[in-house]
Homo-oligomer: A and B are copies of this chain.
Amino acid sequence: MTVYTPPLDDMRFVLRELAHLDELAALPGYAEATPELVDTILTEAGKLAADVWAPLNQSGDREGSVLENGVVRTPGGFADAYGKYVEGGWGGLPFDPAHGGQGLPWTIATATQEMWNSANLSLALSPLLTQGAVELLSAHGSDAQKVMYLPRMISGEWTGTMNLTEPQAGSDVGALKTKAEPDGDRYRITGQKIFITWGEHDCAENIVHMVLARTPGAPDGTKGISLFIVPKFLVNADGSLGARNDLRCVSLEHKLGIHGSPTCIMAFGDGGGAQGWLVGEENHGMACMFTMMNNARLSVGIQGLAVAERAYQAAVAYARQRVQSRAIDGAAPDSVPIIRHPDVRRMLMTMKATIEAMRALAYTTVAALDKAKRHPQPEIRARNQARADLLTPVVKGWLTECGCDLASLGVQVHGGMGFIEETGAAQFYRDVRITPIYEGTNGIQALDLLTRKLLRDGGAAMTALQTEMGVTIGELDTLPGGDMAPIREALTEGVHQLSTASDWLLELAETDLPRAASGASPYLRLFGLVTGGWMLARAAATATRHLANGADAASPGKPFLTAKIQTARFYADNILPRATAEAAAVMRGGESTLALDEGMF
């Protein structure tokens, strides 16, 4: 069984130095987010994650969630581990104190979210969905709905779900057919939904389903979709639970991974119609759902990071302990731990460097969101909102793709043992494979990045980002140390490639959108590679400054700071050069991508 150790040093470094925790604490309502409180939160969350959640990851995979007589039994220990999360108030971290939340920055909640997902991806999905539903109701629910649902969803006593997908309506949400017929102050919902994560389970006393459906006579497509609250148990006016609603889990999917997470086929209204309550107005369901999905997209990016971190820790532990063959320099006759072999070292460095880039990119994106919500100056709010909008598909797409690649490297470090399920490395490889798929496939993310984020504002948000990356490049120029020049050069080249590819797409899309779209995925990858490299360059610059100022006494100390610089250098030398290949695919690749006659595949 693999152990999980929360990477607190790096989390703190990113929060303080790159996401600028002090600036967040200066925002209205966030004064409590002092470094001391954040330390306490990270430490305590880390204990629950490491000591309670993480040990259930492998047993949860083996046992899986099971449907018996309409009841979903989650793996042994899950209900109790989730109960401890509720007791600790972990679900309420970023939410409105008016409804029982703690009103802390999302950025801090994001760091704890990484830990839940590293510890146990299957279990962490339940609060992840609940959090999306809370955000949705907070933004679009009526006051009465907020009073009725939010306190117990924020506490985690009740969980939430997201019911979009139907067999014929996946990425094409507008094709859904579930019906909602008005019935007094409520609606009667009938239809079937698939891929409903934690749609039914035994870890909470109620489940609040957010269901997309069509009212009679609604327009076709996404414009005719409304959103409803459809609770498993009806809620009485006094807040107590009433009758069971007319909905049930028909079956569970047999999946590649996340076996502990029940993925349900849900039937609504087999007995005449499930009772649902409209959220917002009729036909505005997609706007509501996007609130939930935007949040969830960042969370799924965090999942990619989280599983990669856990896979990395397992790989390092194995590489330290597994003794095999002599060192290649031939200096000593004895066999050595495989961490000393250069190729194993390369795999571990690739994991470490990419993970640190991923973490920094995710946390800083969420920090931009915090500023977009709370900053007193409208232009700073707008600038940060544009940045967060731009980077959200990148965080979702790039982090999940890297998550898969790194989990695969984790298997490889284990050699033959990596293919044996008992080792645990294979589970990470299976589990993380869902992340490039759900909450909008990465192809959809890439299209979102291209059309809604790059094209819609004519490249303005992109240009602002580029300018900021230029500032970092200038800063690297002024700093001491032999690593700064190669880091600066690699970043300069990466930014150049990103900028050139962006300009190319802006121009091409005007005349040939399909061809531009055929470059969307490499463009997203290019975006991730370069912004990830930027993050590590910023980290290296910060570390260099701290070292120059005599950092020995300060946490996290000289070895950590030195390693930061070396890690950024590794990324610059080994990973960032891929930007050129991705840019080539964007700019050269469209014609040949679409050239082949469809019959020749």
Question: How many positions in chain A have a CB within 8 Å of any CB in the partner chain?
Answer: 101
Kindly state the separation between the CA atoms of A348 and B594 in the bound complex, as whole angstroms. 11
B342 touches A515 (CB 8 A): yes
Q: How far is the CA of A212 from the CA of B588 in the complex (A)?
A: 52
On whether A591 and B563 interact (CB within 8 A), knowing A253-B420, A433-B408, A434-B419, the answer reads no
**B-facing residues in A349-369 (Cβ within 8 Å):** 349, 352
Q: Map CB proximity to B onto A553-567 as digits: 1 under 8 Å, 0 otherwise.
A: 000000110110011
Q: With an 8 A cutoff between CB atoms, is A332 at the interface?
A: no
A477 within 8 A of B: no
Given A585-B577, A601-B352, do A171 and B340 touch, yes or no (CB 8 Å)?
no
Which one, A453-461, A465-473, A568-576, is touching chain B?
A568-576
Q: For A256, give the chain B residue with the smallest CB separation.
A: B426
Residue A443 at the B interface, CB < 8 A? yes
Cβ-based interface call for A584 (8 A): yes
> Is the Cβ of A346 less than 8 Å from the Cβ of B593?
yes
Contact B520 A342 (CB under 8 A): yes
For A580, list chain B residues within 8 Å (CB): 577, 580-581
Give the distance to chain B from A161, nearest Cβ to Cβ, in Å: 15
CB of A105 within 8 A of chain B?
A: no
Inter-subunit contact B584/A581 (CB<8 Å):
no
B408 and A514 within 8 A (CB): no
Given contacts A349-B596, A574-B585, A593-B570, contact A342 B518 (CB under 8 A): yes
Nearest-CB distance from A39 to chain B (Å)?
21
Stretch at the interface among A25-33, A89-97, A229-237, A321-329: A321-329
Is A343 among interface residues, defined by CB-CB distance under 8 A? yes
A578 CB, min distance to chain B CBs, angstroms = 4
A574 and B589 form a contact (CB under 8 A)? yes
Of A238-246, A266-274, A409-417, the stretch lying at the interface with chain B is A409-417
Distance of A257 from chain B, by nearest CB (Å):
7
Given the complex of chains A and B, what is the CA–CA distance between A516 and B587 in angstroms? 33
A257 to B426, CA, bound (A): 10
Per the bound structure, the CA–CA distance linking A594 and B352 in Å amounts to: 13
Residues in chain B near residue A486, CB distance under 8 A: 588
> Are B578's CB and A416's CB within 8 A?
no
A437 touches B421 (CB 8 A): no
**Contact at B447–A343, with CB atoms within 8 Å?**
yes
Identical chains in the assembly: 2
Contact B581 A569 (CB under 8 A): no
- Kindly state the separation between the CA atoms of A327 and B594 in the bound complex, as whole angstroms: 13
Q: Give the contacting residue for A416; candidates B170, B515, B597, B599; CB below 8 A.
A: B170
Contact in complex: B595, A584 (CB < 8 Å): no
Contact B566 A335 (CB under 8 A): no
Q: CB-nearest residue of chain B relative to A344?
A: B443
Q: Is there an interface contact between A349 and B441, defined as CB atoms closer than 8 Å?
A: no
* Most chain B beta-carbon neighbours within 10 Å: one of A255, A419, A521, A591: A419
- Residue pair B422, A438 in contact (C-beta under 8 Å): no
Q: Is A218 an interface residue (CB 8 A)?
A: no
Q: Which of A342, A575, A581 has the most B CB atoms < 10 Å from its CB?
A: A342
* A452 contacts chain B at the CB level, 8 A cutoff: no
Interfacial chain B residues near A520, Cβ < 8 Å? 342-343
Hey, which chain B residues are within 8 Å of A165, CB to CB? Answer: 416
**Distance from A19 Cβ to chain B, minimum over Cβ atoms (Å):** 22
Minimum CB–CB distance from A566 to chain B (whole Å) comes to 5
The answer to whether A339 touches B598, judged by C-beta atoms less than 8 angstroms apart, is yes
A420 near B573 with CB under 8 A, answer: no
A395 at the interface (CB under 8 A from B): no
A213: interface (CB < 8 Å):
no
Cβ of A345 under 8 Å from chain B:
yes
Residues from chain B with Cβ under 8 Å of A518 in the complex: 342-343, 345-346
Given B255, B257, B483, B574, which contacts A593 in the complex, CB threshold below 8 Å?
B574
Q: Which residues on the B side are within 8 Å of A416 (C-beta)?
A: 165, 170, 194-195, 437-438
A175 is an interface residue with CB less than 8 A from chain B: yes
Contact in complex: A517, B437 (CB < 8 Å): no
Smallest distance from the beta carbon of A343 to chain B beta carbons, Å? 4
Interface: A429 (CB within 8 A): yes
Q: Tell me if A418 counts as interface (CB < 8 A to partner B).
A: yes
Q: Which residues of B contact A257 (CB under 8 A)?
A: 419
- A517: which B residues are within 8 A, CB to CB? 328, 341-343
Minimum CB–CB distance from A177 to chain B (whole Å) comes to: 14
Give the docked Cα–Cα distance between A415 and B323 (Å). Answer: 40
Q: Kindly state whether residue A205 has any CB partner on chain B within 8 Å.
A: no
For residue A404, CB closer than 8 A to chain B, the reply is: yes
Which B residues touch A421, using CB under 8 A? 254-256
**Residues on the B chain within 8 Å of A483, using CB:** 592
Among residues of B, the one whose C-beta sits closest to the C-beta of A435 is: B419
Q: Which of B253, B415, B567, B600 makes the CB contact (< 8 A) with A170?
A: B415
Give complex CA distance A600, B195 in Å.
41
B-chain residues with CB within 8 Å of residue A194 when the two chains form the complex: 416
Q: Contact: A339 with B574, CB < 8 Å?
A: no
Partner of A437, one of B195, B419, B434: B419
With A328-B447, A574-B588, A580-B580 known, 17 other A-B pairs at CB within 8 A are A165-B416, A170-B415, A175-B335, A256-B411, A342-B520, A342-B590, A343-B517, A349-B593, A349-B596, A408-B433, A411-B433, A412-B437, A426-B433, A429-B433, A430-B430, A522-B574, A563-B600
* Closest CB pairs A-B (n = 10): A342-B518, A577-B584, A343-B443, A256-B426, A570-B592, A563-B600, A574-B589, A573-B588, A577-B581, A342-B517
7 A-B pairs with C-beta separation under 8 A: A170-B416, A172-B335, A255-B419, A346-B521, A418-B437, A563-B596, A578-B581
